[in-house]
Every structure is written in structure tokens, then in C-alpha cells.
Amino acid sequence: MLAELSAALWAETLKARRARMPLLTLAGFSLAPLTGALFMKILLDPTLAARFGALTTKAQFSAARGDWPTYFGLLAQAMAVGGAILCSLIVIWLFGREYSDHTAKDLLALPTPRTTLVLAKLLVATFWCVVLALWVYLLGLGAGSLLGLPGWAPDVWLRATVVYMATAGLTIALALPLAWAASAGRGYLPAIGVMILLVFLAQVLSVLGLGPWFPWAVPALLSGAAGSQAQNLGVATYLLVATAVAGGIAGVTSWWRTADQT
């Protein structure tokens, strides 16, 4: 089992390394801390703020103050919203490309168990997203340090780090069920449609106050993107998230193991 999993992981990693997707997702994730740093710079420099006009208004709307707590909040919110889309696209790409490239039948002809193939893809997707989340965090720390943002304190850093890491963990976990949509839909487009629907429902239900009961709205609520609604997140909410993630993984595993793939 371990030998088969190692071989599958090697193959999936090799396919990812030879594609452009890693660089594209790295560039996409890098926009979050860099844009946040620009907003902080605008808020800290009145002369620069006067020069940018509409961008200054956007910065003032997105962030009340140019300090570390605000910047950390922007990073967590960007991870919850933008990260959800990019992590979902990574999962969709890993599974959907097998149908778009017409290689699914070749995978299924291998002696490797189908569950091992699914596990390898999910592990690569998780590792990929974790690395990108850490990159955003470290890039944010570096950019904030270069700007000399005020408001740094050990308790501020620890609290913000816990929130960011929890938000990133939930975001990555909730992207994994999109593998089921990409597999059942046999390609990218149906899964992207499901992703768009989930993002839309998360926003609408959060506005209606029902976000804590919709798993894909929870990361944004936890990050503070929806204000004080994070206070309503309880054990039941996280149980729903765990159920959604487990159900999605079980669904894609069952699909690859039992569904007609011919």
C-alpha cells in the first residue's frame, strides 16, 4: 500500500511540476499580501493617498487603519475568499484534467487501487494549498515589516496567526469536496460551476445570517470578513464543516471506485 501510494504521489507531483498551474497559483496567492501592503502604505502615507484617488477610497473602505492587526485581518479575509477560489481550482485541475486530457481511462487501467489514486491527488492538493497559505503568511510578514507597520505585539501576532491558520485550514479542507464535482462532471466546467454556486450561496447566506449553517461560509466568518458573525460559530458549525469535507472525500472515493468510468 505504501509503495503504491508513494508511486502515485510521485506521478501526481511530477505532473504538477511540469504544468504551469503551480506558478499561476503562486502568482494569484501573492496578490493578497502585496495588495494588502499597498493598502497599508496608502493609509500610512497621506501624500500617496492623495495621488491614488479611487484606490485610496477602496483602501479606506477595506481597512480602517494602517497597522498590524488590520493587515493580519486582510490576510485572513483574502485567504478565506480568494484562497477558497484558488484552492478549489487546484483540486478541480488535479481531478478534472484527467478527463480533459483523456487520461482517466489510462489511470483506471493501472494495477494501482483507485482509492490510492484518489488519496494521492487529495494529498498533493492539500500540500500544494498548505505551501501557498504559508507563502502568503510569510510574504505578508515580510511586507508588513518593510512598511514598518505600527501595532506589533506578541499577543496580537499570536492571535492573528491562530485566526489565519484556522481560516486557511478550513478553506483548504472545504476545497477538497470539489474533487467529487470534477470527477462526477468529468471535467473542469461542471466543477467550476459548483464552485461558483458555493461562493454565491456563502455570500448570500452570510448576509441573511445563515452563514454559520453553511460550511463554505465558515472560513470567511472566522476571518472577520462578515463582521461579528464569527461569534456565532459553535461546535455545531464545525461539525457541519467536518461532515461536508468527509462527505465530499467519501463521495469522490466512491465515484472512482464504483462508478462506470468507461
pLDDT at 54 exceeding the cut of 60: no
CB contact at 8 A, 182 and 190: yes
Identify the pLDDT of residue 75: 93
Measured CA to CA, the distance from residue 132 to residue 126 in angstroms comes to 10
Q: Record the cell numbers describing residue 247, joined without a space.
A: 462527505
Decide which of 61 and 18 is more confident. Answer: 18
Q: Pick from 91, 75, 92, 80: which is nearest to 31 by CA? A: 75
| Confidence label for 61 from pLDDT (cuts 50, 70 and 90) | very low
Q: Pick from 77, 76, 258, 241: which is nearest to 175 by CA? A: 241
CB contact at 8 A, 247 and 174: no
Identify the pLDDT of residue 79: 94
DSSP character at residue 231? G
Residue 181 CA, distance from chain mean position? 17
Measured CA to CA, the distance from residue 164 to residue 78 in angstroms comes to 10
The residue-averaged pLDDT of 34-62 equals 65
DSSP code string of 152-183: --HHHHHHHHHHHHHHHHHHHHHHTTHHHHHH
Identify the pLDDT of residue 216: 95
The residue-averaged pLDDT of 20-36 equals 91
pLDDT at 261 exceeding the cut of 60: no
| Confidence label for 92 from pLDDT (cuts 50, 70 and 90) | very high
pLDDT at 206 exceeding the cut of 90: no
| Confidence label for 59 from pLDDT (cuts 50, 70 and 90) | very low
Count of domains observed in the chain = 1
| Tens digit of each residue's pLDDT (9 = 90 or more) over 159-196 | 999 999 999 999 999 999 999 999 999 888 999 999 99
Which residue in this structure is represented by grid cell 494549498? 129
pTM: 0.90
pLDDT at 116 exceeding the cut of 80: yes
Measured CA to CA, the distance from residue 17 to residue 13 in angstroms comes to 6
Q: Which domain holds residue 157?
A: 2-258
CA 48 vs CA 38, 59, 83, 201, 255: distances in Å: 10, 12, 29, 38, 55
Neighbours of 79 (CB within 10 A): 33
| Confidence label for 50 from pLDDT (cuts 50, 70 and 90) | low
The residue-averaged pLDDT of 230-257 equals 89
DSSP character at residue 212? G
| Tens digit of each residue's pLDDT (9 = 90 or more) over 120-155 | 999 999 999 999 999 999 999 999 999 888 888 899
Measured CA to CA, the distance from residue 252 to residue 127 in angstroms comes to 18
Phi, psi of 113 (to 5 degrees): -60, 145
